[in-house]
């Protein structure tokens, strides 16, 4: 068993790889050490911050041999000590390297957690905008009412003077409210192409459609890559005019709206009341579309219709066993799984493979530049219908 590490001792370590969670991996005496602020190939001096039996967490205090992928961070609030903002994790990494690391992480998670020997993972698609791309920010507030983000692994709020990843409208709000936000625990601010405060909704113009998004409803945060996400989902689903398509965890109807031109019938499933209301308004002009209000694990098994294909866009927790069982029971031929967590994706992919599905393709997209978060679009087919 690896021996405990003395937190007062500074350790020199060679780092091996990036991990899901944003840290670089090194090893000392058989113990895995996850190091914030490091890059693969670097020799660094670290300070241990959390020592467990099987692993430890540490942060870089000196880079002895830097990686060629290391760059100067753009944001003055970025860093890895207790005073730094925890909103971004990778501003010290060149963007091309961020994309390579994300591809490798998705592949590693599918291999290690999903037990897929050779996962068909494509190169990560870059974000058209890597700065000022976020259309939604959830600011936490200090006791004095200053907006900011929490420090990494802490509830302590770091007040912000600026933020280079949020859209300019949001940064203007941040600068205008640095000292005057009403006393509360947090403030949620969203930008779009228009905003109606009387109805509590924002409208986004995407392709030839305008989508209403209520303040309480989920919507993708990277405006510059939403259309690319839509294109990938529609292409992989490949809906036909005679087919019924299910849009599970459909939200405000982002995918359904752009499936209408090709699918015969679309059934959305959503548990959020505000999102269901938005969906009905956004798809009001399309007779072949309906939405069912309720949890996917309850509504999907009750659908008494032949389902040719379905898109699933669950929260970070993934679909889970009950939804996967419903997919199998409904004999859905084509499954497109939109995931924001490669670990839960790997778990669910394993269950689908064990239930007779073939993994066709995994396409990562970088919806979250300068963070470790990874969006993926995965295509699976029932094995007896798969084209391999």
- At 111, which CATH number? 3.40.50.150
For the four alpha carbons of 320, 322, 328 and 333, in that order, the dihedral sign comes to negative
Same domain, 307 and 327: yes
Query: What integer pLDDT is reported at residue 386 of this predicted model?
Result: 45
| Domains in the chain, number | 3
Tell whether 64 and 176 lie within a shared domain: no
Number of Cβ within a 10 Å radius of residue 354? 11
Supply the pLDDT for residue 387: 41
Write out the two tokens for 142: 């200090």
Residue 199 domain-assigned (yes or no): no
In this structure, are 121 and 141 located in the same domain?
no
Q: Supply the pTM of this predicted model.
A: 0.93
The answer to whether residue 334 is domain-embedded is yes
Predicted pLDDT at 95: 98
Asked if residue 154 is part of any domain, the answer here is yes
| CATH of residue 16 | 2.40.50.140
Q: Are residues 164 and 299 in the same domain?
A: no
DSSP code per residue over 42-68: -EEEEEEEEE-SSEEEEEEEEEEE--T
Q: Examine residue 90 and state whether it is found in any structural domain, yes or no.
A: no
Dihedral over alpha carbons 46, 49, 50, 55 (to 10 degrees): -10
* Residues 156 and 122 placed together within one structural domain of the fold: no
Are 364 and 232 contacting, i.e. CB atoms less than 8 angstroms apart?
no
Between the CA of residue 129 and those of 161, 162, 165, what are the distances in Å?
Answer: 22, 18, 9
Round to whole Å and give the CA distance between 378 and 382: 14
65 lies in the same domain as 108: no
Instruction: Report the pLDDT value the prediction gives residue 211, as an integer from 0 to 100.
Output: 96
Give pLDDT, residue 3. Answer: 62
List the structure tokens of 30.
């058989």
258 and 332 belong to one structural domain: yes
**C-beta separation of 368 from 341 below 8 A:** no
Element (H, E) at 308: none
Q: Domain containing 157: what range?
A: 136-191
Q: Which two tokens stand for residue 364?
A: 């990562």
35 in Cβ contact with 59 (< 8 Å) = yes
Q: List per-residue pLDDT tens for the chain, 388 residues long.
A: 556 676 666 799 999 999 999 999 999 988 999 999 999 999 999 999 888 989 999 999 999 999 999 999 999 999 998 889 999 999 999 999 999 999 999 999 999 999 999 999 999 999 999 999 999 998 888 888 888 898 887 788 898 989 999 999 999 988 888 766 565 667 888 887 766 655 789 999 999 999 999 999 999 999 999 999 999 999 999 999 999 999 999 999 999 999 999 999 999 999 999 999 999 999 999 999 999 999 999 999 999 999 999 999 999 999 999 999 999 999 999 999 999 999 999 999 999 999 999 999 999 999 999 999 999 999 999 986 544 3
pLDDT of residue 156: 87
HSE-CB for 240 with a 13 A CA cutoff = 7
């Amino acid at each position: 068993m690896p021996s405990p590490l003395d937190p007062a001792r500074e350790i020199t370590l060679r780092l091996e790889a990036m991990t899901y969670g944003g840290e670089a991996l090194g090893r000392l005496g058989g113990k895995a050490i996850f190091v914030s602020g490091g890059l693969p190939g670097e020799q660094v001096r670290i300070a241990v911050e959390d020592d467990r039996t099987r692993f430890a967490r540490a942060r870089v205090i000196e880079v002895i041999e830097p990686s060629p992928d290391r760059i100067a961070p753009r944001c003055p609030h970025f860093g890895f000590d207790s005073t730094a903002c925890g909103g971004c994790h990778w501003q010290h990494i060149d963007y091309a390297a961020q994309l390579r690391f994300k591809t490798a992480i998705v592949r590693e998670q599918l291999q290690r957690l999903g037990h897929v020997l050779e996962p068909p993972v494509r190169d990560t698609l870059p974000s058209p905008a890597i700065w000022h791309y976020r259309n939604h920010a959830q600011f936490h507030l200090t006791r004095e009412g200053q907006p900011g983000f929490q420090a990494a692994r802490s509830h302590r709020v770091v007040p912000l003077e600026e933020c280079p990843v949020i859209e300019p409208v949001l940064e203007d709000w941040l600068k205008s409210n640095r000292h005057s936000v009403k006393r509360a625990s947090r403030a949620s601010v969203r930008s779009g192409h228009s905003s109606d405060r009387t109805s509590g909704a924002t409208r986004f113009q995407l392709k030839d459609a305008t989508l209403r998004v209520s303040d309480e409803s989920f919507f993708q945060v990277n405006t510059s890559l939403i259309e690319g996400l839509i294109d990938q989902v529609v292409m992989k689903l490949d809906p036909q005019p005679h087919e019924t398509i299910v849009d599970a965890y459909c939200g405000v109807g982002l995918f359904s709206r752009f499936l209408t031109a090709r699918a015969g019938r679309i059934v959305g499933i959503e548990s959020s009341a505000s999102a269901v209301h938005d969906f009905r308004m956004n798809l009001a002009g399309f007779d072949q579309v309906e939405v069912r209000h309720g949890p996917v694990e309850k509504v999907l098994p009750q659908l008494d219709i032949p389902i040719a294909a379905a898109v699933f866009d669950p929260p970070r927790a993934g679909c889970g066993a009950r939804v996967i069982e419903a997919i199998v029971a409904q004999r859905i031929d084509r499954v497109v799984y939109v995931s924001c967590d490669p670990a839960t994706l790997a778990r669910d992919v394993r269950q689908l493979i064990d239930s007779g599905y073939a993994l066709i393709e995994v396409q990562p997209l970088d919806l979250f530049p300068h963070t470790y978060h990874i969006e993926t679009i995965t295509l699976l087919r029932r094995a007896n219908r798969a084209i391999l």
